[in-house]
Amino acid sequence: MSSKDNIFHQPMDNPAPFVFDEAVAQVFPDMIKRSVPGYSNVIAGTGLIAGDYVQPGTNCYDLGCSVGASTFAMLQYIKTDDFHLLAVDNSPHMVKLCQQNISGNNHAGNVEVTCADIQDVGISNASVVVLNFTLQFIPLEKRADLLTRIFQGMNEGGVLVLSEKLAFDSLAEQQRQTALHESFKRAQGYSDLEISQKRAALENVLIPESLATHLQRLTDIGFRDAQLWFRSINFASMMTWK
């Protein structure tokens, strides 16, 4: 059980840009569950997809693993013992908690948790690659390069799961979706002050793109059948294959 997220509870003069520091890592499971509509469904679905597409003798990747939710879901559904799962995050606080969480799992021996920038991690012999709510933190101009490297490191038939916050081309749609997301957060117990301070902290840190932009970029890189498999308000999960 993680602690309750109170990080943006007190009034702040000018919220600093959001970082994945120790305070955030400590409350992360509570924060993401109460901030991302459909989060639990995305995590469970990620496990199912991994179970369906993992190939024996290959590598699986959880890129931007935080404290390990997607890794755990994959371990639950992967049926072979012959796989290596690399969980990567560049926050040492997240990595430390992820390592602690995984250490008790039956398949801990198959998992390597690494503190690194996912832009520097080599991808090879991959049958499952998961980018759950992480690409949105990579600079826009670097996203195609990262996805291209992932594509190059994947085996034929391998799957990529990509989950992201969405932006909308229509201003009216953007406003409706933002309002609904804020209603979701209020229903999860966040105050208007917490919502607005976190929004300010994430400005220019989390940069969402439209569903069409994501699907087109995946297709341009060479991925096939890029498609939506889950959406809740302004958060979506896609899957695509090499």
By CB under 6 A, name the binding residues for ligand GEK.
20, 32, 43, 64-66, 69-70, 88-91, 94, 117-119, 132-134, 137-138
> Which lies closer to ligand GEK via its Cβ, residue 91 or residue 240?
91
Tracing tokens 């695509």 back to the chain, one arrives at 240
> Which lies closer to ligand GEK via its Cβ, residue 56 or residue 92?
92
Q: How far is it, in rounded angstroms, from Cα 65 to Cα 74?
A: 12
Task: Find the shortest distance in angstroms from Cβ 108 to ligand GEK.
Answer: 18
The most distant pair of C-alpha atoms in the chain lies apart, rounded to whole Å, by 53
Helix axes 92-103, 69-77, angle to 10 degrees: 30
Task: Find the shortest distance in angstroms from Cβ 94 to ligand GEK.
Answer: 4
Task: Find the shortest distance in angstroms from Cβ 72 to ligand GEK.
Answer: 9
Query: Which residue has the CB atom at the shortest distance from ligand GEK?
Result: 64
Beta bridge partners of 154: 126
Task: Find the shortest distance in angstroms from Cβ 232 to ligand GEK.
Answer: 14
Task: Find the shortest distance in angstroms from Cβ 221 to ligand GEK.
Answer: 19
> Which lies closer to ligand GEK via its Cβ, residue 17 or residue 157?
17
Task: Find the shortest distance in angstroms from Cβ 212 to ligand GEK.
Answer: 21
Burial of 121 (0-12, 13-18, 19+ CB in 10 A): middle
> Which lies closer to ligand GEK via its Cβ, residue 19 or residue 57?
19
Tracing tokens 């309002």 back to the chain, one arrives at 179
